[in-house]
Amino acid sequence: MEVAIVAEEFGRGLVDVPYLGPVLADDLARHLDTDIGAATVAVGDTAIDARGAEHAVLLRDDAVLSAGVGAVRAGADLTRTGADLSGTPQPVGRLDPETALRWRALALVATGADLVGTARGAHALACDYAKIREQYGKPIGSYQPSRTCWPRDWR
């Protein structure tokens, strides 16, 4: 639960630190008998929140795989560093099906919380900007067409 709360607040503030990837990797690593070091998670062939990570782990069925973090990949999210995986992911352990399902649920909830926080932050920023924006010397909210279509809390 705390992971989701922090993820939502970091998303709301567009906090520029690797959080979601390393937290999910840490949770996955606690079920293994091996130390994976400074790690993040990978989705497909991309390491998420890769800044500072040496390895990326991913869960394929019930197998935990690990690969090195390679070159940084350009992306639309400027708060999150993505990187290519270097080499083919190698198995580092297995999870029982129930643990794998729980980890996937945590990943979905935490990612959803991050997205909700990002949406909340973007909405608040847009509302604050709309309140002070002027065009032709008048607040933009004073024009009738925009006043009728804007939600009440934007005015």
Q: How does pLDDT run across 5-51, given as a tens digit for each residue?
A: 999 999 999 888 999 999 999 999 999 988 888 999 999 999 999 99
Residue 33 is predicted with a pLDDT of 84
The CA distance from 153 to 38, in Å, is: 44
Q: How does pLDDT run across 88-121, given as a tens digit for each residue?
A: 999 999 999 999 999 999 999 999 999 999 999 9
What's the distance, Cα to Cα, between the start and end of the chain in Å? Answer: 34
Residue 150 is predicted with a pLDDT of 56
Closest CA to 83 of 18, 37, 35: 18
Residue 95 is predicted with a pLDDT of 95
Distance of CA 11 to the CA centre of its chain: 7
Task: Say if residue 143's pLDDT is above 80.
Answer: no
Residue 88 is predicted with a pLDDT of 93
Residue 140 is predicted with a pLDDT of 79
Residue 111 is predicted with a pLDDT of 94
Distances (CA, A) of 101 to 94, 96, 110, 115, 139: 12, 9, 14, 21, 51
Residue 133 is predicted with a pLDDT of 85
Residue 5 is predicted with a pLDDT of 94
Domain limits, the chain: 2-117
